[in-house]
Amino acid sequence: MSNFSDLFEDAFKKVVPELNKAAQKIDNFIGDVTKGNTSSVNEQATDAAPNTAFSAINIVEGNDKFSVYVAAPGFTKTDIKLQVNEGALVIKGNKEASKNKAGDQYLLHEFGYGTFERAFSVPESVDISKISASYTDGILVITLGKKASAIKSKGITIDF
């Protein structure tokens, strides 16, 4: 079995060339923008920037529920589909990118839309009849209520 330093060195050797490529793309992009050369700016920006459909997910466990928070700015409720299937919560989304007006071109393109799918295991402690969702201000909140048997009792105080 490899020791920690061997694993770190192997990972470092794999990551550094990719970081150098990304840095070079950014340098080229900045050089083109500052020189007024916008012919390749759209291609470079799209290639160098992450093209994610949504940014982040948080999962929080409470005493009586799990809450899943999905950052999905720019989406509507009709762009997102939720399903519990074979013990997994599946989140799917699709949003078409907006079209530029004729003659317009990107000078900077750091985000995009498209299709995404994420799946998470649903614990046995979840009562699937207690699953709900809401979408407000770009945040999708999925609430998975726990079965009564999985909710920890707060206990009682016995006066004497």
Backbone angles phi, psi at 140, to 5 degrees: -90, 125
What is the Cβ-side half-sphere exposure of residue 78, based on CA atoms within 13 angstroms?
Answer: 1
Cβ contacts of residue 38 below 8 Å, gap of 6+? 32, 105, 107
pLDDT for 6 equals 57
Distance, CA of 153 to CA of 151 (rounded, Å): 6
Closest CA relative to residue 123, chosen from 107, 144, 100: 144
What pLDDT tens digit does each residue of the chain (160 aa) get?
445 555 556 555 666 676 677 777 777 667 666 665 555 544 444 444 344 555 689 999 999 999 999 988 888 999 999 999 889 999 998 888 777 788 888 888 777 778 888 898 999 999 999 999 999 998 999 999 999 888 887 777 788 8
pLDDT for 54 equals 57
pLDDT for 55 equals 60
pLDDT for 107 equals 84
User: Does the reported pTM lie above 0.85?
Assistant: no
CB-based burial label for 146 (10 Å; 0-12, 13-18, 19+): buried
